[in-house]
Structure 1
């Protein structure tokens, strides 16, 4: 940046250059602030998932209701079932009706691993419509 020249012409011309130093300073400060605060935004928060507050969905298609208790026991349309029986039963249902839906009713304290395992077995058997049933009553 030139503030003056060695030649004395007697006339002062306006400075036509933009001073970017303050702009760079502000941008560096903002960058540092974002670098410091970004890890704080990704901190996971422990939450207790709420119950759904909506109108129950009444389905007309063929469906299988599979309940999973907190102790890991399974119930196929209200009847006790074993995990190793699910794959052939899912395959038989899909063979009868390809658009069969699986409605999972998992206990609030059920392990996610058990729910994921059931969903994986159902997907491998060909079930493409899997939904979760929640309690629509308010707390």
Structure 2
């Protein structure tokens, strides 16, 4: 025992309470900013109750189809640039050659004709995408 009858704590012990506080603050910051990182063209997604796809490590390649049937790709500097089907197919093909396991998702507006979405999905598979997912909203 130390002088004065007090028990001293060894200097090798680290007080972890401040580290836990910092970790919780960082967690809250990441939870708030994560939804803002998903960028793309605003589309009115159809509602469907489906199981979510398994969590992928890499960021997905997203092809958006707005209500007018215009195509957008979340790749490059200008994500709001309207692209043709041939351009989308060419760019997706280039990405698939570099990283063949990259997930490809289609954000299709509910007003887009079914045939147009099927044509897009077929073009994406021809470009080398092993599977193409459709993004929907959960019905409330």
Query: What is the TM-score when the length of structure 2 is the normalising length?
Result: 0.55
The answer to whether 1:66 aligns with 2:63 is yes
Higher strand share: 1
Tell me the matched-pair count. 90
RMSD: 2.3
Q: Secondary structure at the match of 2:48?
A: coil
Query: What is the TM-score when the length of structure 1 is the normalising length?
Result: 0.56
1:93 is matched with 95
User: Could you tell me how far apart the structure 2 residues matched to 1:102 and 1:122 are?
Assistant: 8
Q: Per-residue displacement from partner, 1:68-101 (whole Å, max 9, x unpaired)?
A: 1121111111433222201211110111101111
Q: Structure 1 residues 98, 70: CA separation in 2 closer, same or farther (over 3 Å shift)? A: same
1:115 is matched with 117
Q: Could you tell me which runs of 5 or more consecutive residues in structure 2 were left unpaired when the two chains were aligned.
A: 1-45
Residue in structure 1 matching 2:132, options 123, 130, 134:
130
Q: Structure 1 residues 50, 63: CA separation in 2 closer, same or farther (over 3 Å shift)? A: closer
